Structure 1
């Protein structure tokens, strides 16, 4: 197992935790202000974000207002929606620090407006691996494992030069409802993660080549199972369990050369 601390030049650009729950009424202003006070250490500023959702009955889009709490640097946010609590950051400090924000958000939500249960817990990590190009085509086999690169060499004899490549693999665990998905690929173009009005990515790179590793681990309530009561401690236990393999999934996907020449080099 590799170290648990983030690399000095880590490629992680976005970390998300989502806890889905039965639909509930939106937080009113007093409840949101109470939650804001409880989360003042992490996300002291209140915002409202407008998003479009599809009405499943009519197929039309409708605007939905989501109350959010954000950090002063706008790199961490907490969203209390009608069906989910979402914690996001573009400046990942490591799991132990990030889980403190999640635990505080779970407690705050239950204190200001109790929920009836929870149905899904998901963790998502998006890495954009960038390496020195020296104005040459990147041979990604120097930086990530060959399993992630597809049949580029096999088709080279046909005069075909691979420009981009993407794939997805999904894995189950021995525990019911738990799974992991890994989306990966060599990409040339705009970054996968950009800034929004309430969640900012600092120093966003220009369009160019990068290798995407998009890891999603989740626990999903099985259709025949009873909905468990909303219990922040139990939710955190599941989140901790889901998180454990994610770091090693990343480490098993990259090469020592990437670690030594890119990730361990401070900016």
Structure 2
């Protein structure tokens, strides 16, 4: 657990994702393997869609090479959570996040299914990402006004500019070394548009266009500098659990008590 942990009824979460990257697995390019995994996971993800991606690479001679990557997307009945299988990755995404425990169950069950299908590549990166879009019931004409809901440490730098003119946008990114190959990327931005999260395969509740503040937390563990670590549900679970703490701590430090009242559905 982390300090001040609280589950908010009106949390500003737009998307939560967990990604497991690994060395290329020939078995995941075989349709039979993908079918076996889809069947193993059909209780939670009963619907499957083929996925085709094209990557373009420029050669030294200036010609373009196209590399096609085939995968499968497994979705739940409400299209609010999915698992995407590619030959080099397993990705879980949800637009209806309820708890870390549910996420952990989904991703570790999928890892067990891969191992059962004899997919045993070397891990390269395990990541956990929370993207929040904070919207408030008041007009925000100056980004500095976000200090009512967003911690002053994230918007205070805007006062270096002219006080008589509004700040219209801001974006920052910070990276933290958590030791033992673990890290945390924190991105913040004040924007004025519809949304930055537009999921390709999932449904998301409609949001009104207008100012919002993005809090994006990406915790990860990098395995590329270690001795080979083979894919296993236990290693993935431990990696996600460790980076979940700094992600949650950073979120709690990023918001004010006014925001907590808003996320609880209470009147200030």
TM, length-normalised to structure 1 = 0.90
Equivalent position of 2:102 in the other structure: 97
Structure 1 residue 176, shift from structure 2 partner? 2.0
Contact 1:19–1:86 under 8 Å retained in 2? yes
Equivalent position of 2:21 in the other structure: 20
Structure 1 residue 56, shift from structure 2 partner? 6.2
Q: Cα RMSD (Å) of the superposition? A: 2.0
User: What secondary structure is seen at the aligned counterpart in 2 of 1:170?
Assistant: strand
Q: How does 1:92-241 map to 2 (within 5 A)?
A: 92-134=97-139, 137=142, 139-157=145-163, 159-173=164-178, 175-196=179-200, 198-201=201-204, 203-223=205-225, 225-241=226-242
Structure 1 residue 235, shift from structure 2 partner? 1.8
Q: Distance in 2 between matches of 1:45 and 1:151?
A: 47
User: What secondary structure is seen at the aligned counterpart in 1 of 2:158?
Assistant: coil
Distance 1:52 1:4, change over 3 A: farther
Contact 1:4–1:94 under 8 Å retained in 2? no
Equivalent position of 2:244 in the other structure: 243
When the two structures are aligned, how many residues end up with a matched partner?
259
Contact 1:148–1:185 under 8 Å retained in 2? no
Structure 1 residue 188, shift from structure 2 partner? 0.8
Q: Which runs of 5+ in 2 are unaligned?
A: none
TM, length-normalised to structure 2 = 0.89
Equivalent position of 1:256 in the other structure: 257
Higher mean alpha-carbon deviation, 230-239 vs 28-37, is at 28-37
Q: Which runs of 5+ in 1 are unaligned?
A: none
